Amino acid sequence: MPEPDSTTLVTPPTDRDKYQSRLTRVFLTAGLLTLVAASWSGFLDNNAQTTTEASFKRALATFALARGLNGVISVAQGTEIAIQPLGVGLTITAGEILDPLNDLVERFSWLALVACASLGTQMLMTELLSNVWISSLLSVTVLAYLFVLWWPKGFAGREILLKICLLLVFIRFVFTVVTLASGWINSAVLVDRQEASMERIAQTTENIELLQVEDTDASLLERFSTFLDEQRQVFDVRAQLLALKERVESAIEALVDLIIVFVVQTLILPILGLFASVRVLKRVWRWAT
């Protein structure tokens, strides 16, 4: 008995296949039109810009705070004050205590500057990719694809148009989506930690400024007189130096926390966001083919 020729066997589409195909086209049309509307409305872009701008201002404030702390430390490091409480000579030298903090502050200042540059770049890229020309090109491409998609006779280049649409959608929204996701994580997790660390650094700056003497040793005693007992100056000055050391250690911890915040905010989150966006694009790209 002769075998049937497989090349002549064509299975006609069932009603279920037709329904699924039509449903797919409806969802695809709705999704693409929604993206075009989002591109023109600028709602996502405005939220992304607002979020990034707030992070940018905090980064600038942190950079200014670090530079201010560096300046105060530079002055206080050379402070050597000789006093003679109860006839006992005592010299206060703050340099050894402040050296580790000064080294870390100098390195952190560069990191804060890089964080400002990174956030500024995100703002610029979001603004550039949300311009009217990108939205117009996306709209024309989507309309052309939808025309081909719903044309009853079909077109051979439909998959190519879909790929172009996907690529334009990726270019148009990648920085916006990544910025929004990073901003949400930053607001939910990192902002409180950053503000608390900045407050600790500001307090340390104020405390170090107490070591700066304007004229004579008496001015130092006047500054200490509000919270030190004049009858126990030796022990109180040593206690003050120990307290300064504790504040320096607290400031170092705060700077380390800020380093973690900036690394996560301006490096890890954007890279993870871009990686996830590329993965999604590849999956949709394979589905389109």
Residue range 219-258, pLDDT digits in tens: 545 554 544 444 444 455 566 667 677 777 888 888 888 8
Q: Can you give the pTM of this predicted structure?
A: 0.70
pLDDT for residue 86 is more than 60: no
Owner of token pair 């949400």: 184
pLDDT at 36: 92
Distance between terminal CA atoms of the chain? 39
Note whether 25 and 150 are within 8 A (CB). Answer: yes
- 27 contacts: CB under 8 Å, gap ≥ 6: none
Residue range 10-47, pLDDT digits in tens: 455 565 555 567 787 888 888 889 989 998 988 888 99
Q: What percentage of the chain reaches a pLDDT higher than 90?
A: 4
Top-confidence range, 6-10, 119-123, 214-218: 119-123
CA distances from 150 to 140, 144, 155 (A): 16, 10, 10
Cα 166 to the center of its chain, rounded Å: 26
Note whether 145 and 158 are within 8 A (CB). Answer: yes
Tokens of 283: 């999956």
pLDDT at 102: 78
Residue range 148-179, pLDDT digits in tens: 888 766 666 778 888 888 889 999 998 898 88
